[in-house]
Amino acid sequence: MEDTLSLVLFSGTDDKLHAAGTLAAGAAAMGRPVNVLLQYWALDAFRAAAIDADHGLAFDSIRPGTRQPPAGSRAIPWLETFRMAKELGEMSIVACSGSLEVLGIIPGELDPIVDGTGGIASFLLAADGGQIIFI
Amino acid sequence: MEDTLSLVLFSGTDDKLHAAGTLAAGAAAMGRPVNVLLQYWALDAFRAAAIDADHGLAFDSIRPGTRQPPAGSRAIPWLETFRMAKELGEMSIVACSGSLEVLGIIPGELDPIVDGTGGIASFLLAADGGQIIFI
Amino acid sequence: MEDTLSLVLFSGTDDKLHAAGTLAAGAAAMGRPVNVLLQYWALDAFRAAAIDADHGLAFDSIRPGTRQPPAGSRAIPWLETFRMAKELGEMSIVACSGSLEVLGIIPGELDPIVDGTGGIASFLLAADGGQIIFI
């Protein structure tokens, strides 16, 4: 549908996962269908064994003089925003089959918040005329 | 409106700020409304005390063999492109209230080019059916 | 056209180039026109002298505990996916004239898969009402 929000979630740091979760929750709260495709380091972050770990911050945070989060990156509630998005509306989280293969991850390793696996073609088809955001 | 260009500006390095400013100025010159939402390291870069500093280049530039900007990252005129976008057309720059909180930045610290603060819901609403780009 | 997929390709690591190539090939296979604008480190990666090199992985991969590609980053077939996209459908790859200037690269240094040079205005015009993705 035209009002679908589609996210290619590639990055695996806590700050970018938070930015993605906030967009997903915001769109879900507005009644928009949300499709998330997990690739590479986001896929890695959604492994059950890794999802609660400290995933650090983006490279941009390293420059001297940058304001650091007073509560640290562990305090960034990205997983909670994704859980909230699922409660608020219609959101699917799909693991990219190509990234699973490149990283040697099997679906059974993923956290149960991930709904299944799929490829880029079905993602683009579901995105339809709606917005696609790469994070 | 359908022709609005909405930018979630997350990154804080000079090269990505430049890429964002160029898109903003290009769209503004075409008469399109432009909405910029500053998050995390872009928000940090728009602090009055930081905006003229050297913000460095993206991690991708570090690989040996990469062509480096002969004039250095300080010569990348990203702030000028944002100022030009404001002169050319209708652009608003809004600080994300969630990122302000995570980084412990108060609105009074931001450069006057920032028009105000706001959340993801009003950003998505303003984006309407138009393009959203995450940088 | 409304079904055009436009990619601003900024990043130059093998994993992000792969993500971009997959989106381009997927859209081309669906009969959608694809426009790619090369900026900064993606532009650097498409230099003839650099295109076959190991471009490494995104910063996110560095965190301890991250699953590394068993076959390494050189095994990520990003260039093949771009070549496939060109065979499958209608894709143009354009070097951003602003980034050429900042990095001091001349068009003659680029791999022949690059179709030409251009600016942000013509890119936005060609994107029309279609999706724009920044990678």
- Over residues A22-64, the pLDDT tens digits come to 999 999 999 999 999 999 999 999 999 999 999 999 999 999 9
pLDDT band at A75 (very low <50, low <70, confident <90, very high): confident
For residue A130, what is the DSSP state?
A: S
pLDDT, residue C1, reads 60
Residues 6+ apart with CB under 8 A from B1: B33, B128, B130
CB pair distance less than 8 Å for C22 and A98: yes
Both tokens assigned to B134:
């995450």
Q: Is C8 an interface residue toward B (CB < 8 Å)? A: yes
pLDDT, residue B74, reads 79
pLDDT band at A1 (very low <50, low <70, confident <90, very high): low
The mean per-residue pLDDT over the stretch B75-79 comes to 91
Chain A's closest residue to B109, CA to CA, is: A67
Q: What is the pLDDT of residues B44-68, one digit of tens each?
A: 999 999 999 999 999 999 999 999 9
Alpha carbon distance C117, C131 (integer Å): 21
Q: Is A58 an interface residue toward C (CB < 8 Å)? A: yes
pLDDT, residue A73, reads 83
pLDDT at A122 over 70: yes
CB pair distance less than 8 Å for B30 and C132: no
Alpha carbon distance B114, C74 (integer Å): 42
Alpha carbon distance A78, B33 (integer Å): 30
The alpha carbon of residue A3 is apart from the nearest alpha carbon of chain C, in Å, by 13
pLDDT band at B33 (very low <50, low <70, confident <90, very high): very high
Burial of B15 (0-12, 13-18, 19+ CB in 10 A): buried
Q: Going edge to edge, which strands form the sheet with A91-96?
A: A116-118, A91-96, A34-38, A5-9, A131-134
Among C17, C40, C78, pick the best mutation site for testing chain B contact (most B Cβ within 10 A).
C40
CB pair distance less than 8 Å for A19 and B12: no
3-class state of residue A3 by DSSP: coil
pLDDT band at B2 (very low <50, low <70, confident <90, very high): confident
pLDDT, residue A112, reads 98
Q: How many CB atoms lie within 10 A of CB A49?
A: 11
pLDDT, residue B100, reads 97
pLDDT at C73 over 70: yes
Q: Report chain A's terminal Cα–Cα distance, integer Å.
A: 21
Distance of CA A4 to the CA centre of its chain: 16
pLDDT at B133 over 90: yes
Compare CB distances from C2 to A44, A104, A129 and report the shortest one's residue: A129
Lowest mean pLDDT among B4-18, B47-61, C64-78, C106-120: C64-78
pLDDT at B1 over 90: no
The mean per-residue pLDDT over the stretch C100-116 comes to 97
Q: Is A129 an interface residue toward C (CB < 8 Å)? A: yes
